[in-house]
Copies of this chain bind each other. A is one copy, B any other.
Amino acid sequence: MDMLNIGEAAKASGVSAKMIRHYEAIGLLPHAQRSNGNYRIYGPQEVHNLRFIHRARSLGFPLGTIRELLALWRNRQRSSAQVKKLALAHVAALEAKILEMQEMAAALKHLARNCHGDGRPDCPILDGLADPFAEKGKARNGSPA
């Protein structure tokens, strides 16, 4: 009745076989049942679990949080507030990283904008990395000793 080995479960869930074993090893998943030949076997329920993990990962949740989400998922006494809190904390973490990277990209684009990008060695990008407060007095050598 719908018993899949690890490769089939991987295809069905989107989680690689390597990762399925890993999740089991770190206790994110219960130990899978085994066949006579010691193959892991998965039923629809386990595949459903795997898909849940796959989607949570695709939303960027770290495994520790996924562990909590799985526990809440299984717990009918949960409150939706608990789930929402985890989700919004993750949104905040994402947005913090996004902001950080946007600042990096903006700073770099600013440096690149002033770089002619031709055959000459003169380069405001290197100058900016070497000394971010130069900026104006552009006649800095751009090479260390």
Contacts and interface: CB of A to CB of B under 8 A. Distances in A.
How many copies of this protein are present in the complex?
2
**How many A residues touch the partner, as a band?**
35 or more
Nearest to A143: B76
A121 B80 contact: yes
A123 interface: yes
Interface in A55-99: 55-56, 58-60, 69, 72-81, 83-85, 87-88, 90-91, 94-95, 97-98
A88 B102 CA distance: 14
Interface of A: 45, 48-49, 51-52, 55-56, 58-60, 69, 72-81, 83-85, 87-88, 90-91, 94-95, 97-98, 101-102, 104-105, 107-109, 111-112, 115-123, 125-126, 128-130, 132, 142-145
